[in-house]
Structure 1
Amino acid sequence: MDIRALLDECRLMIMAMMPQIMERRYRIQYKPDRSPVTEADQYIEAKLHAFLQDRLPGLTFVGEESYDFQAAEHPGYFVLLDPIDGTENFCSGLKEWGVSLGVWKDGIHQGSLLMIPELGEHLMTGDPCTNLHSRITGFSSSFNEEIADGIRDAIEYRVTGCAVYNLFNVIRGSFARFINPKGAYAWDLLPGVMLALEHGCSVRVNDADYHGQFLEPHRKYRVDIRHRYDPHPG
């Protein structure tokens, strides 16, 4: 299986679906934790699930909107998807939202894709990447006292409410660092974290150096990622 070609098919499929995605943007429900989910989240997840099921034999599929803890077994092909990361941004009419998709086989990472469709940006396994030099630290939007301390000490900071946006920008160097000290689920983080490793970033997960091991979907993880060129470590 040419995973890079498969990821590019997924990318093209999402871009082709943009009219249907935008049509469902403001059809919003709220989960028990009061976070929003739109019909667009569910639409993307259903379409990609069906597409990948046809192409990856024996697939175990874990998407944020349909996750069942009992389904998270890892032999064979395993796909992790957040169909819309930054749903609060998306359903508020902001463009800083993204799609996070990763593929594993027998526990070994095969490839990942990050997309920010309304901004026309994407990064997938095997893509070249720029090497920008930034002073900005990106912080997650879930409040934590460490974020307050970090904002006070940072030279420049941004809080955008989208892990895909944060990960994309720290990988390419538009952020010097991305910190989520409260924690997020693997579908928010893991595909982007694998791309960060691919591009030489320093990655810490739950306060320990990270080397690419699989992160279970049912747990939250704290991350601290530095771009491979960071002239502002403070």
Structure 2
Amino acid sequence: MPAIEADAADLALLIEAAEEAGGIALRYARRGFRTTWKPDDSPVTEADMAVDAHLRARLLAARPGYGWLSEETPDGPERLAARRVFVVDPIDGTRAYAEGAKDWAHSLAVVEDGVPVAAVVLLPMHGRLYAAARGGGAALNGAPIRASRREEVAGAAVLAAKPALAPHHWTGGALPPFRRTFRSSLAYRLARVAEGADDAMLTLRPVWEWDVAAGALLVTEAGGAATDRRGAPARFNAAHPQLDGMVAGGAVQSPLRALLA
């Protein structure tokens, strides 16, 4: 099957699976769920685990030759031998989900040879489904989207957590005069950049692949750029599945990243 057809077929599969995941998460949100805590003090809910189990069964049944990387599944070396790999965060923004907030997402990507080729970010509480396939552009609820064309850092809307504002991250210890905005889910931050609702996003700590793989494709297919904090291309399905931060945006991405120390 030609790559373009395989990417389109994988995108259709991801959309179906994401919508099913949304139904599961919403049912748990209505009826209640147990929350436990990981060793790193991050929460995990019954809904995270139920969505993960459903997605793994659903997606690998449809694509048995693909690898699997998910926040909620114990990792193993088998995926490294697969050319195509599902990279999934069953619920991105679990803390927000557990608190009853709306800004959580399902983040699903297919990565081929380290590069995302199909991606979906679904926000069930907002009714927003972002989708992209390699070379096919990005869309929100079926309508094409484009990243911001703003080039000036001053006044730009930049999605970032407060630790990213620390002076030592910036050249000369001077925080650029952008406007900080925030959403709990990294996948949602990237989706907002892809649709031009915000000009850029950045996270300067090491970031797990499942948080950003789908969103990175959304941004690049919307005409933007997504790199690590040093400007290296974002690559996925690494043996240790973390990136050195991420800076993503439309036209402002390069000038913003250039200001990092």
In the superposition, the TM-score normalised over structure 1's length comes to 0.85
In structure 2, the residue matched to 1:213 is 235
What is the count of residue pairs matched by the alignment?
232
Q: Which of residues 178, 181, 188 is equivalent to 2:211?
A: 188
Deviation at 1:218, TM superposition (A): 2.9
In structure 2, the residue matched to 1:7 is 14
Is 1:100 aligned to residue 107 of structure 2?
yes
**C-alpha distance in 2, partners of 1:146/1:186?**
26
Deviation at 1:148, TM superposition (A): 8.0
In structure 2, the residue matched to 1:179 is 202
**C-alpha distance in 2, partners of 1:147/1:123?**
34
Is 1:129 aligned to residue 152 of structure 2?
no
In structure 1, the residue matched to 2:3 is none
Task: Between the two structures, name the one with larger relative contact order (CA 8 Å, sep ≥ 6).
Answer: 2
Deviation at 1:142, TM superposition (A): 5.7
In structure 2, the residue matched to 1:145 is 166
Q: Describe the SS at the equivalent of 2:187.
A: helix
Change (3 A) 1:101 1:203: same
**C-alpha distance in 2, partners of 1:214/1:160?**
23
Q: Report the more deviating stretch, 221-230 or 96-105.
A: 221-230
Is 1:79 aligned to residue 86 of structure 2?
yes
In the superposition, the TM-score normalised over structure 2's length comes to 0.77
Change (3 A) 1:93 1:51: same
Deviation at 1:225, TM superposition (A): 1.1
**C-alpha distance in 1, partners of 2:69/2:109?**
10
**C-alpha distance in 2, partners of 1:186/1:227?**
21
In structure 2, the residue matched to 1:48 is 55
C-alpha contact 1:190 1:215 (8 A) present in aligned 2: no
**C-alpha distance in 2, partners of 1:19/1:203?**
30
C-alpha contact 1:193 1:203 (8 A) present in aligned 2: yes
Change (3 A) 1:147 1:137: farther
Letter in 2 for 1:161: S
What runs of 5+ residues in structure 1 fail to find an aligned partner? none
C-alpha contact 2:149 2:251 (8 A) present in aligned 1: no
Deviations 1:22-63 (A, max 9, x none): 147541000001110001111111001100111002232111
In structure 2, the residue matched to 1:156 is 179
**C-alpha distance in 1, partners of 2:104/2:42?**
15
What runs of 5+ residues in structure 2 fail to find an aligned partner? 1-5, 151-155
In structure 1, the residue matched to 2:117 is 110
Q: Describe the SS at the equivalent of 1:118.
A: coil
Change (3 A) 1:39 1:144: farther
C-alpha contact 2:25 2:47 (8 A) present in aligned 1: no
